[in-house]
Amino acid sequence: MILSSRAVAALALAAVCVGVTGCSSAAGATASKPSYTADDVKAAFYNAKDAGEGARDYWYDRDFHSHNNYVPPSAIQTCPYVQRSDTPNAPSNVVQPVGGQPVGQFAVEPTRATDSRVPYVTQNALVFASTAIADNAMNEVGSGLAVCPGSYEVDGGPPVILGAYRATSRPLEVFGWKGYVQQLAHTYPPGQDDVYFEDIAIVVLHRANLILYLDLTQKKIVGDRADSADKAKGAMEKVLQRLG
């Protein structure tokens, strides 16, 4: 398979971010812990108090499986819904690195479904036995990101996922954690919803023996600026400040 220049750049993304330099930086104290535990992460996750009034949080039921877009607890999502798309030889929507122990999926969402002020946030993390194993896992995630097409159509499945998806990604560094942010715009088929589109951002960051994942989804009026990447980065910063 011959990869486009975009895919080649994405393929190198995680490898670059595992190294010492190469990702855009955010101001703040650099992380210094040599390793992390599942309990560290659970205590640090973005929560309803962070989101503010009108939010609630909860742990996903491990026995619940979404039929719309199943993401195993030990996986990192790299290309939402692409497995349902019209893309020839569509890649997997997830990467499941070897050796990662999932912390568990933790969600923050509006208390009322009609409240558009609070985005939907889903988090998870994979804890590895060593930094070296986590480095290799992050490279696996980068390989999965590399084959996610820049645009694709989903024309089968529940109405809520139908429509066009456009995806971009860029390197990201926050407080010494390195990885990427992927942003997607999901527009619905003509006549289904001509007012709103879904603005989605996925932040994946790695440091020491840990890979963190945060997915933020919100509805925006067509024509408004998509700002999910900024909001997802802000949410992740709260997590990293608590992790240390």
Confidence of residue 67 (pLDDT cuts 50, 70, 90): low
Summarize the chain as % helix, strand, coil (round to 5). 25, 30, 45
Locate 27 and state its tokens.
């101001």
Distance CA 115, CA 55 (A): 9
**Predicted confidence (pLDDT) per residue in 105-132, tens digit:** 999 999 998 888 899 999 999 999 999 9
Number of domains in the chain: 1
Distance CA 227, CA 12 (A): 25
Domain range for 13 is: 5-243
Which of residues 209 and 23 earns the better pLDDT score? 209
- The average pLDDT across 61-76 equals 77
**Predicted confidence (pLDDT) per residue in 130-148, tens digit:** 999 999 999 999 999 999 9
Supply the DSSP string of 74-91, one letter for each residue: T-EESSTTGGGBS-TT--
Give the per-residue pLDDT at 21.
36
Give the per-residue pLDDT at 30.
84
Give the per-residue pLDDT at 63.
64
CATH number at residue 74: 3.40.1000.70
Confidence of residue 6 (pLDDT cuts 50, 70, 90): very low
**Predicted confidence (pLDDT) per residue in 170-200, tens digit:** 999 999 999 999 999 999 999 999 999 999 9
Closest CA relative to residue 79, chosen from 88, 92, 98: 92
Task: Note the pTM of the prediction, 2 decimals.
Answer: 0.88
Q: Which residues of 120-141 are buried (b: 16+ CB within 10 A; e: fewer)?
A: bbbbbbbbbeebeebbebbbbb
| E strand or H helix at 181 | strand 177-187
Give the per-residue pLDDT at 20.
35
pLDDT at 27 exceeding the cut of 60: no
